[in-house]
Amino acid sequence: MLSTLFFFTIVLSAGYAKVKSPKIVGGEETTIETYPYIVQVEAFNTWTGWNQNCAANILNSNWILSAAHCFEGWNYSPATTRIRAGTTTRNTGGVVHYVDYEINHPEYRVFSRYDADINVVKLLTPIVETSSVKRGTLVAHGFAIPDNYPVIHAGWGHTTFGGRPSNVLLHTQMYTINNQLCATRYQQLNGVVTPNMICAGLLDIGGRDACQGDSGGPLYATGQNGHIIVGVVSWGHRCANETFPGLSTNVASYTNWVLENAR
């Protein structure tokens, strides 16, 4: 019997942990012990070998949570995909686990390109928990995170749009943005923002965001018992744009589906 996934209703904390900023874009270095639930997703390329291209979150000993768009396409195969857990450094260290199969949400791409951009991924070997490898905590199904609430991105992605990934784990703090306001902004680009997405950034300021290579990784809120996974990095216009903030899949729309499938 697989381990049961821990989850509970997010408890908003007045004393949230602040992250200093002026890579992810606009962040600073951190360690895997701070975010032991995040893992790297690596893909094999004949010319370059194994290389981190997305991220994910540990659910339990056999399953991770990521973005569906990281596990699709002509060049995707479970046989050439693996995760690396328990290391601060990109592409090295920690423990490697290979992918068995993925379950992309059945509504992915149905309503819009990135609606339901979420999946669960079964691993071939079980994850063993340590101080740098731990299961994450999901937000409760249906919970509505408030506007202007502090949230955190963490990852190894590009530090500027079109730039280069970070060699070490980075994190940055930003704030949730009203969904309808975000949807109105993206209409200018013919982008579709749905209620199943969380918009976050520094509105009309920019400078902090997830970027290429951070897809599938976490958007965390801080509650009384630590970091809670409220979002999965999904899409956006460039990175850290002041007019068009980044978007993550709203995990609260899918928590029940995740729990039903990742067991």
Q: Give me the active site residues, please.
A: 69, 117, 215
Tokens of 77: 């195969």
- Tell me, letter by letter, the H, E, C secondary structure of 106-144: CCCCCCCCCCCCCEEEEECCCCCCECCECCCCECCCCCC
Residue position matching structure tokens 């290579």: 213
Cβ atoms of 138 and 251 within 8 Å: the answer is yes
| C-alpha span between 73 and 241 (Å, rounded) | 27
Contacts for 25 with CB less than 8 Å, ≥ 6 apart: 158, 159, 160, 161, 172, 207, 208, 209, 210, 211, 239, 240
Burial of 49 (0-12, 13-18, 19+ CB in 10 A): exposed
Tokens of 10: 């997010």
Contacts for 2 with CB less than 8 Å, ≥ 6 apart: 60, 61, 62, 63, 263
Q: How far is CA 63 from CA 56, 238, 258, in A?
A: 10, 30, 10
Amino acid occupying residue 194: T
